[in-house]
Amino acid sequence: MADSSLFVFASHQIIIYLLVYVDDIIITGNSSSQVSHLVTAHSKAFKLKDLGVLSYFLGIQIVPSKVGLTLCQSKYASDVLHRFHMENSKPTKTPCCPNVRLTPFEGSILPDPTEYRSMVGALQYLTFTRPDLAFSVHQLYQFMQHPTSSHLEAAKRVLRYVRGTLHFGLYLAPGPLTFSAFSDVDWADDPTDRKSTTGILVFLGSNPISWSSKKQSTVSRSSTEAEYRALASTAAELSWLRTLFKELKLFLPHIPILWCDNNSAIALASNPVFHSRTKHIEVDYHYVRGCVLRHTLGIKFISGRDNFADIFTKPLPGPHFLVLRGKLLADTASCLRGNVKNTCTTIVSTNGFGQEMPNS
C-alpha cells in the first residue's frame, strides 16, 4: 500500500475511501447507502461519533464552495501566535531575510532551548497547508540541538510573517488528472557543510499537492550533480503518487511532466552516454533514466526565474517570493467568514463517519 492509513473499497461501480489517523477518521464515497452501511457495521464493533460534513480535521479547516475546496490552518496559526505571545507582533512580508543563510555560530547559545523547539515544531505542522513556510522551517529545524539567539529571532520572524498571512491556505479546484512537477536546487548553499538544498513541488492539475525542502545527504561536486539528484527525488515522489492514485482507482491519462532549469541534468536523463565524471551518481542516473525509457516520466526545461520550486531552495527577495507564493496560495479570509455558499464537493467527517455522497 502506498499509504498504510488509507483503505479503499471498490466493487463494481462503488468506491469508498476511508482515511484513519489514530482515532480520527475521514470517509467518503460515491454511494451514500454503502457509506451508511459501513458506518452501521463499524458502530457494532466500535464506539463511533459521527461529526457529519467535514469542516475541521487535525487542525485543518476545510471550506467547500461551488467551484472548489479551501484548506487552511488559520485557527491553529492563531493559537500558535497566542502561545508564543506574538499575536500583536508587526507582520513581515517574507518568512526569512532574503539572501541570508543561518549558521550554527551566530548569536549566543540559548540556556533553555525548549521554547525554540516548541516554536519550530508548531511551525512545522503549519507547512501542511503553507508551502511558503517550507524552506524557512527547514532552515530552523537544522538547529534544534543547539539553537542560538539568532535562530530564535529567525523563528520569531517566521511567526511575524504568519501573523500577516493568517488566512492564507490552499485552494483546490476541479481539473484534469494530470501530474506536473518542478525540481530545483541551490547548489552548495549551506555555508557550514556545502551541501545543496533540494526543492520539490508537484501539481495535480492546477493544485499543489506535494512539496518539499530538504538538504541533500551528500556534497555534490557540480551543480549538474546536485540538480540530477533533485530530479531523482522528484521522480521518486511522482512514482509514489502514481501508485497512490492507482490504489484510489483513478486513471491518469498522461505521463507526469517534470520541469527542471538545468539542461545538463536533463541531458543526463535523456542521453545514454554516461561520462566518467558522473559515475558517482550512477544509482540516481539509472533510476531517472529508467523512468524516461519506460515513458512513465517526461522531463522538460524551464527557466530558473519561472521554476516554482525555487521558493523551496533559498531565501528569496520579497517581489519574487510574493510572485511564487501567489501561484501556490490563496487568501481564504472570505471563505472563513462564510461568504462562499456551502455546497460540499466532498462529504466526510472526523472522529466518526460521514453518511452522504459527494456532490462532485
Question: What confidence score (pLDDT) does residue 177 get?
Answer: 92
Residue 271 has pLDDT above 90, yes or no: no
Sign for the CA dihedral angle at 208, 213, 217, 219 comes to positive
Angstrom CA distances, 308 to 38, 41, 132, 185, 322, stand at 42, 46, 11, 12, 12
Question: What confidence score (pLDDT) does residue 351 get?
Answer: 32
- Biggest CA pair distance of the chain: 65
Q: Band of the pLDDT at 3, cuts 50, 70, 90?
A: confident
What lies within 8 Å, CB to CB, of 94 at 6+ separation is: 161, 315, 316, 318, 321, 322
Residue 259 has pLDDT above 60, yes or no: yes
Domain locations along the chain: 1-54+344-360, 72-169, 175-309
Classify 292 as helix, strand or coil: helix
* All cell numbers assigned to 209: 499537492
Q: Band of the pLDDT at 189, cuts 50, 70, 90?
A: confident
Query: How far does Cα 8 stand from its chain's mean position?
Result: 23
Question: What confidence score (pLDDT) does residue 349 get?
Answer: 34
Question: What confidence score (pLDDT) does residue 358 get?
Answer: 31
- In angstroms, the first-to-last Cα distance of the chain is 26
Q: Band of the pLDDT at 347, cuts 50, 70, 90?
A: very low
Tell me the pLDDT of the chain averaged across its residues. 86
Q: List, as one string, the DSSP characters of 9-27.
A: EEETTEEEEEEEETTEEEE
Question: What confidence score (pLDDT) does residue 336 get?
Answer: 58
Distance CA(51)–CA(45), nearest Å, equals 18
Q: Who has greater pLDDT, 217 or 356?
A: 217
Query: Average pLDDT for residues 294-320, to the nearest whole number?
Result: 92
Question: What confidence score (pLDDT) does residue 119 get?
Answer: 96
Residue 339 has pLDDT above 60, yes or no: no
Question: What confidence score (pLDDT) does residue 277 get?
Answer: 59
Q: Band of the pLDDT at 272, cuts 50, 70, 90?
A: low
Percentage, residues of the chain above pLDDT 90: 54
Give the least confident one: 55-64, 231-240, 346-355. Answer: 346-355
Residue with cell 517574507: 94
pLDDT digits (tens, 9 = 90+) for 62-74: 988 888 889 999 9
Query: How far does Cα 296 stand from its chain's mean position?
Result: 22
Question: What confidence score (pLDDT) does residue 303 get?
Answer: 92
Q: Who has greater pLDDT, 268 or 356?
A: 268
Q: Band of the pLDDT at 172, cuts 50, 70, 90?
A: very high
Contact present, 169 and 329 (Cβ < 8 Å)? yes
Tell me the CATH architecture of domain 175-309: 2-Layer Sandwich (3.30)
